[in-house]
Structure 1
């Protein structure tokens, strides 16, 4: 698909914050982080909606086709795209009265702004891979949703080895493999530190704080320092986890083992790590504050990084349309 994106990561956040759903007054914003992975909260609330819709469409067979469209299931795992969210939300509009019979959904569905209420309660949400992956497909950098794990993106975004190699619209990947973000813009300061504007989907532990960002969000002016940090030998870690899962399928035991192995296998004071990439320290500062800080890699898309489509990239047909 090339390196030309149709829009910036921050434009994508704006889109996720202004979804228009047929039959619903006003727009809807995706405001929460949600992951199907039990280690990051799980998707019990979205599963309630998924099951309730499945039961309801048995009585409304005219709507059954909407549950079979591409990307439908991803909405309930934190990896939906805008059209996917709108499709499921339109089902909620059509099936609202029937869905109210599900205890877990009854209270939010009674509200006037019931779709936004479902979003604010985490029934609809997005995880970090969902944000970056759907940005890639929606902006035409990928032909379809790539999925994967954060450090899998090093195949397309090789980690840089020096701060001078950074480009706008790079990805930021936690060195422990647990998170991925995008840089919308950056400034190289005199001391070699970077000040970056991040786009990501993330959350905070503890009670809701209106001064913090939740779900798809922009974090401006976050400091990113070179110099090394913590390193997890990812291949060895993944092999150890795969071996454990062959012998134990209990989700709680798997989460506990993952936590144990991360602690045991993490090395400190490393300059370079996965794929030979330099390790940087990402701060928890910014406006609003960045929820996910620590040791990271910066990946630049092969071919010179991402650039945003401009009039010089228009086809002859596009020129005629303008």
Structure 2
């Protein structure tokens, strides 16, 4: 536990503005991806990795060996590290011939009944790389949900990026107050950058506190990965309520914001001991 020298918005910029550095140029990781069917599922990603990770190049190397099985498993469910995506994309660019050896399903969000929403089926090289630049092909695959990041992946990998975590630790949002950030924030006047905003099924980070509007409201920036992928929501109004939520923590709500935060409703705010900006 230590001081952080970067804020969450800087990690958002690394991922999306201009994007992650590949041999074809920067590619924006501006997509939300979660294996949970209720949050859209990961059908495109599963269709891609289940075959491509095992296909060997002319030297007998495959993606699974090049990147690491655990790293690919995390990327598959929306919790991959930014460096992992760069390795995957550069391997694809170097071995585009391997992308012509099998077909994938290009899928939208999972249907409400949990079934796959297959939009088209074909070979990656033909669908993407034969029709556009390498950089454009990778970006289009991000939009088609082959690659992305969920809320847990964003927060965990930010903690790794700033050196607070030494590796990925899988913690569900509801368990964050027990395992990650145990200090409850009870008053809006106490909120600081790097505080954790915890819903029952979502987690985000306070990026900056601009001003306290009155004894119950403050204007903040927040960062998260939700609909639209990793993002910074600026000029959000944070409101303190009289309710109690997870682990008895004070409940807050949010209004406004640019862009508007996709997740609303009541949440609690927590702080990690010894972690500050």
Higher-Rg member (1/2) = 1
Secondary structure in 1 aligned to 2:32? coil
Residue 39 (structure 1) shift: 1.6
Q: Give the equivalent residue in structure 1 for 2:226.
A: 202
Give the conservation status (yes or no) of the 8 Å contact 1:183–1:198: yes
CA distance in 1 between counterparts of 2:168 and 2:229 reads 19
1:52 and 1:99 in contact (8 A); partners too: no
More helix by share: 1
Q: Which residue of 1 aligns with 2:156?
A: 133
TM-fit CA distance, 1:31: 0.9
Q: Give the drift of 1:94.
A: 2.3
Is 1:56–1:99's contact at 8 Å kept on the other side of the alignment?
Answer: no
Cα drift, residue 99 of structure 1: 1.2
The corresponding residue for 1:273 is: 245
2:128 aligned to 108, 127, 146, which one? 108
1:226 aligned counterpart, secondary structure: strand
Q: Is the 8 A contact 1:161 1:276 kept in 2?
A: no
Q: Which residue of 2 aligns with 1:66?
A: 66
Is 1:86 the equivalent of 2:111?
no
Partner-residue secondary structure (3-state), 1:294: coil
Partner SS state of residue 197, structure 2: strand
**Quick check: 1:295 aligned with 2:254?**
no
- Which position in structure 1 is the counterpart of 2:21? 20
Distance 1:151 1:134 in 2: 18
1:190 aligns with 2:161: no
Secondary structure of the residue that 1:154 maps to in structure 2? helix
- Structure 2 counterpart of 1:282: 254
For 1:279 and 1:90, how far apart are their aligned partners in 2?
A: 44
Q: Under a length normalisation based on structure 1, what TM-score does the superposition of the two structures give?
A: 0.72
How far apart are the structure 1 equivalents of 2:225 and 2:203?
Answer: 9
Cα deviation, residue 70, structure 1: 5.0
Q: Give, in whole Å, the separation in 2 of the partners of 1:293 and 1:60.
A: 50
Unmatched 5+ residue regions in structure 1? 204-213, 229-270, 308-322
**1:166 matched to which residue of 2?**
191
Q: Relative to 1, partners in 2 of residues 1:185 and 1:90: Cα closer, same or farther, differing over 3 Å?
A: same
- Alignment of 1:5 with 2:19, yes or no, is no
Displacement of 1:13: 0.8
Contact 2:12 2:230 in 1 (8 A): yes
The CA distance in 2 between the partners of 1:30 and 1:160, in whole Å, is 31
Distance in 1 between residues matched to 2:69 and 2:14, nearest whole Å: 21
- Secondary structure, in 3 states, of the residue corresponding to 2:244? coil
1:100-139 Cα deviation digits (max 9, x unpaired):
3421634123321111111121111000000001111121
Q: Alpha carbon RMSD of aligned pairs, Å?
A: 1.8
Unaligned runs of 5+ in 2: 104-121
Matched, 1:220 2:230: no
Distance across 1 between alignment mates of 2:40 and 2:55: 26
Residues 191/6 of structure 1: CA separation in 2 closer, same or farther (3 Å cut) = closer
Give the alignment's TM-score, normalised by structure 2: 0.83
**8 A contact 1:161–1:278 mirrored in 2:** yes
Q: Secondary structure at the match of 1:92?
A: helix
1:73-97 Cα distance to aligned partner (Å, 9 max, x none): 2111100111111111122112323
Instruction: Give deviations 1:26-49, integer Å, cap 9, x for gaps.
Output: 211101100011121111101111
Counterpart contact for 1:35–1:77, Cα < 8 Å:
yes
